[in-house]
Amino acid sequence: MTEVYDNDVFFAEYSAMDRSMKGLDGAPEWPQYQALLPKLHGLNVLDLGCGMGWFSRWAIDQGAKSSRGLDNSHNMLARAKEMTNDADISYEHVNLDQISFAEDMKNKYGLVHSCLVLHYLVNLDNLVKQVHNVLVPGGTFSFCIEHPIYTSTYHQDCIVDDKTGNTYWSLSYYPDEGTRKIHWLNGDVEKQHRTTAT
């Protein structure tokens, strides 16, 4: 997973974004995503790539029994801990590409959530297997990712038609799955492009 979030200059710029300052209310995908979530009352929640802990705290506010946030960034976890004052929330530094849950975690979580993280992972198959193991029977794995049309290009810039003013995305590299290194904010970020079918 990317370590760019532990670059202090990059993290400062990321921290100035709406989603960092306003939390879930600053995330444009939140209203639609929230509508897909189950009722959280009494559930143990696992937040993969918890960032600053916005979802972990929201889950407790919705009645979750506990919320455990995992992230690969020390900066993100430090901010999450600063903003959290609840004994039912815990945070842990974990590389999600190498995650392996202990046997006592089996069938523990009613909801496993991950927002805008899975497209960073090289070893997605392992993570999905691990999530399956920790979900209670009938539990929910809820996630959102950058759209594969967006991750497919090597330069994440839209194209504007000079005549019509219409904006569109190039699909030239869509079928070619793999690593994309893009410049975002003030750093280089590696993401994994996978087609919708994958």
pLDDT band at 11 (very low <50, low <70, confident <90, very high): confident
**139 and 163 in one domain?**
no
Average pLDDT over residues 169-182: 85
Whether 45 maps to a domain, the answer reads: yes
Q: How many CB atoms lie within 10 A of CB 53?
A: 25
pLDDT of 8 reads 82
Per-residue three-class SS string for the chain: CCCHHHCHHHHHHHHCCHHHHCHHHHCCCHHHHHHCCCCCCCCEEEEECCCCCHHHHHHHHCCCCEEEEEECCHHHHHHHHHHCCCCCEEEEECCHHHCCCCHHHCCCEEEEEEECCHHHCCCHHHHHHHHHHHEEEEEEEEEECCCHHHHHCCCCCCEECCCCCCEECCCCCCCCCEEEEEEECCEEEEEEECCCCC
The structural domain count of the chain equals: 2
Q: Tell me the sheet residues that pair with 183.
A: 188
Q: Is residue 184 part of a domain?
A: yes
Give the mean model confidence (pLDDT) for residues 129-142. Answer: 97
- Say if residue 161 is in the same domain as residue 72: no
Q: pLDDT at position 169, please? A: 79
Q: Is residue 10's pLDDT more than 80?
A: no
pLDDT tens digit string along 107-118? 999 999 999 999
- CA gap 6, 97 in Å, rounded: 17
- Separation of CA 73 from chain center: 12
CATH code where residue 85 lies: 3.40.50.150
pLDDT higher for 18 or 30? 30
User: What is the structure's pLDDT at 101?
Assistant: 94
140 found inside a domain: yes
**Mean pLDDT of all residues belonging to the chain:** 90
Q: Are residues 116 and 29 in the same domain?
A: yes
Are 44 and 140 in a shared domain? yes
Residue 170 counted as domain residue: yes
The reply to whether 150 falls in a domain is: no
Residue at token pair 């029994």: 65
**Residues 32 and 109 occupy one common structural domain:** yes
Please indicate, yes or no, whether residues 138 and 189 belong to a single structural domain of this protein.
no
Q: Which domain holds residue 94?
A: 4-144
113 and 27 within one domain: yes
